Amino acid sequence: MNQKHPVALLGATGTVGQKFIILLQNHPWFEIEELVASPRSAGKTYRQACSWKQNLPIAPQIANKTTISAGSPLRSRILFSGMDASVAGPLEEQYAENGHFVVSNAKNHRMDPDVPIIIPEINPDHFEVTKHQKFKGAIVTNSNCVIMPVAMVLAPLHDAFEIEWVHIMSMQAISGAGYPGVASYDILGNVIPFISGEEDKVETESQKILGSIEGNTIKPAEYRVSAQCNRVPVIDGHSECLSIKFKKKPTPENVQRILREWKGMPQERDLPSAPENPIIVFDDNDRPQPARDIWLEAGMAACVGRIRECPIADIKMVVMGHNTVRGAAGAAILNAEAYLSLGYLD
């Protein structure tokens, strides 16, 4: 790609917006052109408007950019949205109506029948439904950050053995709550067994991702999910314990082999953000661990361990992923790369 595509960040000052800035530095296809934030930040430099919380410093060319008020006209055709769900819905629609391609992390449009939840290794064919949206542009969404690594594991197993049901127990990092997130007095030395609205998303999104196109919409896969979601005192990295019931019972060795060998369109096309190994399978009984494994494959892989027989279902395992990289900003960047690579922006 000879010329980089200018992109805008919606919600640029927030936790996901900051992660976009880190991941887009020196990207071979995209260059940050516009930083969009709330009206109270408009007109300030990014350094003034943002409470920077990343481990790397703000690049000078970003720090000195003037932020733009949400809703203002934008030059960039590709928009990455890290906006909070409380404001994301109508603003994303407005920009899509004006001809922009919006890649959203927000929940607002995920379950719209003509808006795909894309994981390019699994369902790049779902981009087709964007042709039938009511907008001049399009909206594509990422999944919930818990479901991202789970769906990556379920997809090849569903193809091979047909899933009947899944039970998920999540242990979710505090960065998933944004900044300032959960009060320290609540989370230190504690587990909070409730995250508002989370279980509903976890129980519905993977079926849409693994579903099939019927007409101009997506028909969800027909398996059931039960979820229990917990906030734990970990900074980054969501872990999930899965028990899976299949129509055709596999052995743990079958599951390990299929997961280790699985690759998809991003690997075949060598997209810039694609992990070489989208699923990393551990043999050690005490892995994966967020403190040790979230940055494998630059945070873009699903990490899996403790694959074994389940006395109630068929197979149980532990899955872990980087919730603000593959579960948020990194997933959106990979989705835009896939959209471009497949010719949908032409």
Give the residue extent of every domain in the chain.
Answer: 5-144+329-341, 147-323
280 and 297 in contact (C-beta within 8 Å)? yes
User: Is 145 labeled as catalytic in the residue annotation?
Assistant: yes
Instruction: Name which of 41-45, 157-161, 265-269, 277-281 the model is least confident about.
Output: 41-45
- CATH code of domain 147-323: 3.30.360.10
Spatial distance between the Cα atoms of 159 and 143, rounded to a whole number of angstroms: 20
* Confidence check: pLDDT of 1 > 80: no
Q: Which residues share a beta bridge with 180?
A: none
Spatial distance between the Cα atoms of 227 and 235, rounded to a whole number of angstroms: 21
CATH classification number, 5-144+329-341, choose in 3.90.420.10, 3.40.50.720, 2.40.10.480, 3.40.47.10: 3.40.50.720
Q: Which two tokens stand for residue 204?
A: 């519905």
Three-state SS at 154: helix
User: Where does the pLDDT of residue 3 fall: very low under 50, low under 70, confident under 90, or very high at 90 and above?
Assistant: confident
Which entry of 50, 100, 126, 145 is annotated as an active-site residue? 145
User: Where does the pLDDT of residue 179 fall: very low under 50, low under 70, confident under 90, or very high at 90 and above?
Assistant: confident
Give the ranges where the chain is alpha helix by DSSP (H).
Answer: 15-24, 46-49, 60-63, 85-97, 147-161, 184-187, 198-202, 205-209, 252-261, 265-268, 290-293, 330-341
128 and 213 in contact (C-beta within 8 Å)? yes
User: Is 158 labeled as catalytic in the residue annotation?
Assistant: no
Q: What is the mean pLDDT of the chain?
A: 96
Q: pLDDT tens-digit profile of 283-329? A: 999 999 999 999 999 999 999 999 999 999 999 999 999 999 999 99
Three-state SS at 13: coil
User: Where does the pLDDT of residue 59 fall: very low under 50, low under 70, confident under 90, or very high at 90 and above?
Assistant: very high
* Confidence check: pLDDT of 96 > 90: yes
Q: pLDDT tens-digit profile of 204-247? A: 999 999 999 999 999 999 999 999 999 999 999 999 999 999 99
Which entry of 109, 126, 167, 238 is annotated as an active-site residue? 238
Backbone angles phi, psi at 117, to 5 degrees: -100, 110
